Chains A and B, each alone.
Chain A
Amino acid sequence: MPSSASLLWRQYRFERHLFWRNPSAAFFNFLLPLIFLALFGAIVHGHQNELDVIVPGIAGMSVMATTFTALAYNLTFLREQGVLKRIRGTPLPSGIYLAGLALNAVTNAAIQIAIVVLAGRLFFNLGWPPQPATLVVFVVAGVGCFALLGVALSHAIPNFDSAPAVINGVFVPVILVSGVFFDVKHVPGFLRDIAQALPLEPLINGLTGGLVHAHGGLGQHLTALAVIGLWALVGVVLATRGFSWEARRG
């Protein structure tokens, strides 16, 4: 039998290949955070403290879009199309197949974070990330957490036609409430409490440390990291328990 490492590498390469095979989808995938950065950068031009909020906010949104949204959408499609069932009938181990899908999403997340960091450096006076360790820890935690939650959400989507509505129904309120576009400090207390209990606000909190704050370190974001960790645990349970290789019938 082919080795697991070579199978995973091939599966990952195959997923990347197919990702670029649909160039318009790939292009807009990477363009979206840049459009947001350009728009909000223009709106808050000259107010550095607001730019310091927008850039990590967009970075957090990018992590969520490339993992949570993309995996929920892709898995629903692959399940409805019967691709998952077909793969399940081959000797390719299921875990390797799913790891290939996840690594593909992680790669997109890494590319988008790199784009946001570069844009922050070039256009928004942010400089290079002052706390690279904090940045890396939170990107890794955020990617893992949101990937698991994306897999979990795909179980709740009844069919592919309803996928955009369900996914946006979660994604849009979460990015609005979590302070992607504004400082969470300025919102009413109850909304702030909700935001801080969800995983995106803590992620943006950590990314703000990594991307903006020259002083401080990872130690200042441990609560945020714990919230992300708890959501990741919820994600593990929901993603594995409900996992189905087949579309629901009837």
Chain B
Amino acid sequence: MAANQSAIEVNDLRKSYGGLDAVRGIDFRVRQGEIYGLLGPNGAGKTSTVEILEGYRRRTSGEVRVLGFDPNDRPRELRARVGIVLQNSGIYNHVKVAEVVAHFAHFYPHPRDVDEVIELAGLGEKRDERARHLSGGQRRRLDLALALIGDPELIFLDEPTTGFDPAARRSAWQTIRSLRDLGKTVLLTTHYLDEAQELADRVAIIKGGRILAEGSPAELGVGGGSRYRIAYANGNGEPIVVQTDNPTSVLHELTTAAIARGEQLRSLSVTRPSLEDVYLELTADA
């Protein structure tokens, strides 16, 4: 596949369950080798979208291509080239970590080395442990190992760190970054802003089954409709806040006027909106 081709293409995707419209016409492209984040609150339509791409659900309408295939047909070749970490999926209670990873390796035409994948997932010390003795975080790591054993080009991660403690999240993030270093494409869904900001090359903010904004976390921070915020205290010490799209000229006017009056602009600050501000603004209930 050519390097400039999209790993995932979604055009006007819609999904209804009975009378409920979970996905209401979304478009996006995921480039080869990038980490793309679908960020949104619970019930935004993230999992519906991802499960359509994974071949678990049928779309109501729209066009979808995953590595050039229609996931609706569930072609075996596609399943051999993607790795899926579901939001929650169990495993046999009595199976040992290395055993189940080795077993799954047989499903694939060109699997990776079992021990290498167990190390990559951070389960090296637990390789002979039974699945039922693993902690929640370790089970999540086993999910990741099972998704990676087939050496997939594209990896779906649905809420990969939900329920993790901060240290476990940091280490999971490191593992996910290492996937990008291996040249993998990752579609990540999350309701954690910091996770999207840390990991994703590009983010789509999704709510109510629609994409509200899309771009790199940095781009979204400035271009997402929010403005620069300039705060200072005037001559009487009263706090003043100015919102603007053009901070340069506003600052120029403010400072020129203050110098002319011989005043100080005390407590002056200029803040650039973070992804968080954009997210909260976009996803706030009207």
Interface set of A (CB-CB < 8 Å, partner B): 1-2, 6-7, 10, 14, 17-18, 21-22, 80-83, 85-86, 88-93, 245-246
Interface members, chain B 71-121 (any A CB < 8 Å): 76-77, 79-80, 82, 84, 86, 88-95, 99, 103-104, 106-109
B91 touches A18 (CB 8 A): no
- In the complex, chain A residues whose CB is within 8 Å of the CB of B92: 18, 83
Given contacts A86-B86, A89-B79, A90-B150, contact A22 B94 (CB under 8 A): yes
Asked whether any CB of chain A lies closer than 8 Å to the CB of B56, the reply is yes
* A92 and B54 alpha carbons, distance in the complex (Å): 15
B172 at the interface (CB under 8 A from A): no
B95 and A89 contacting across the interface, CB-CB below 8 Å: no
B144 contacts A by Cβ under 8 Å: no
Whether a CB of chain A sits under 8 angstroms from the CB of B25 is no
Known: A82-B88, A86-B89, A91-B77. 16 other contacts (CB 8 A): A1-B77, A1-B80, A2-B107, A7-B107, A18-B92, A18-B95, A21-B94, A81-B90, A81-B91, A82-B90, A83-B91, A89-B84, A90-B104, A90-B150, A91-B108, A92-B107
Query: Which residue of B has the minimal Cβ distance to A89?
Result: B84
Label chain B's interface by main secondary structure: loop
Q: Are B76 and A83 in contact (CB under 8 A)?
A: no
Residues of B within 8 A of A82 (CB): 86, 88-90
List of A residues within 8 angstroms of B108 by Cβ: 2, 90-91
Interface residues of B (CB under 8 A from A): 54-56, 76-77, 79-80, 82, 84, 86, 88-95, 99, 103-104, 106-109, 146, 150
Bound: A181/B89 CA distance, A: 42
Residues of B close to A83: CB separation below 8 A: 89-92
CB distance from A99 to the nearest CB of B (A): 15
Cβ-closest chain A residue relative to B89: A82
Task: Report the Cα distance A1→B103, complex, angstroms.
Answer: 15
Q: Give A14 to B103 CA distance when docked, in angstroms.
A: 8
A-B residue pairs in contact (CB < 8 Å), sample of 22: A2-B106, A2-B109, A7-B107, A14-B103, A18-B94, A18-B95, A22-B93, A81-B89, A82-B88, A83-B90, A85-B86, A86-B84, A86-B86, A86-B91, A88-B56, A89-B79, A89-B86, A90-B108, A91-B79, A92-B107, A93-B76, A245-B56
